[in-house]
Amino acid sequence: MLNIVLFGPPGSGKGTQASKIIEKYNLIHISTGDLLRSEVEAQTELGIQAQAIMDRGALVSDEIVIGMIRKKLEEHQDGPGFIFDGFPRTVEQARELRKALTDIDERVTVLISLTVPKDELVKRLVKRGAETGRSDDNPETIHKRIDVYNTQTLPVAYYYEKMHKHQPVEGVGSVNDIFKRIVEVIEHFS
Ligand code: B4P
């Protein structure tokens, strides 16, 4: 299996590049942001709790997120592999992912980390907020999300670095150019 973690701050292009990677490699897409947003839309108990957390730019609890991931892994054990988009976001989530993959005799192939300067991130997310009305894409929440990324999520990159599986990729430029850089990394690690 090819198991890719797509990593980076909010607005770095994870969701955008994930759809191109899936098209080329036929992987199962696991976006914890999308999974949470569909719970919000369905107004489930989990969704109601998650909405308040997401709207203030904080992270939903590890327990909830890990539960969602394990369910998805079980459903697609026989596929060509997974792309994890926006997960893991804490070192605890990274450890749990390792355990869950080990349970199905699998491991992460590579963590691809999209690097984008903060002013560009803010610009992209403000634009998306104006276009889509996404409730966490407002200036105040965007700054909070970037702070949360720097304090709680960035350590995940070091966790994979220690295993020689962390690969930074410049995330500024055209979507197609960035995708080419990502494909080079995937071909190298697979
Ligand atoms: P996510 O849904 O993961 O949101 P995101 O970090 O903003 O990334 P997204 O993938 O949507 O955006 P992208 O960079 O592709 O998370 C939302 C919230 O859910 C979190 O704040 C948290 O509360 C919760 N959550 C999710 N996962 C969690 C977890 N594991 N644990 C706990 N809580 C969790 O794109 C952004 C914009 O940039 C788009 O408009 C796009 O068109 C544009 N763009 C992309 N590439 C570009 C390029 N090359 N040039 C110019 N613009 C570009």
Provide the residue-wise pLDDT of the chain in tens; the chain has 190 residues. 999 999 999 999 999 999 999 999 999 999 999 999 999 999 999 999 999 999 999 999 999 999 999 989 988 888 899 999 999 999 999 999 999 999 999 999 999 999 999 999 999 999 999 999 999 999 999 999 999 999 999 999 999 999 999 999 999 999 999 999 999 999 999 8
Where helices occur in the chain by DSSP H, the ranges are 14-25, 32-41, 45-55, 62-75, 91-103, 118-132, 139-148, 155-161, 175-189
Atom number in ligand 1 closest to CA 87: 30
- 89 an active-site residue? yes
The C-alpha atoms of residue 29 and residue 18 are separated, in whole angstroms, by 7
- 37 an active-site residue? no
Q: What is the pTM of this model?
A: 0.94
14 pocket-lining for ligand 1 (C-beta < 6 Å): yes
For position 116, what pLDDT does the model report?
Answer: 98
66 pocket-lining for ligand 1 (C-beta < 6 Å): no
175 pocket-lining for ligand 1 (C-beta < 6 Å): yes
For the stretch 44-95, pLDDT in tens is: 999 999 999 999 999 999 999 999 999 899 888 888 999 999 999 999 999 9
**Cα separation values, 182 from 17, 22, 87, 139, 178, Å:** 9, 12, 18, 29, 6
13 pocket-lining for ligand 1 (C-beta < 6 Å): yes
Q: Which of 19, 20, 29, 32 to mutate to test the pocket of ligand 1 (most atoms within 8 A of CB)?
A: 32
For position 77, what pLDDT does the model report?
Answer: 85
Measured in angstroms, how far is the CA atom of residue 100 from the centroid of ligand 1? 24
- 14 an active-site residue? yes
- Longest Cα separation, the chain: 44
Half-sphere exposure of 8 (CA within 13 A, CB side): 25
Atom number in ligand 1 closest to CA 148: 21
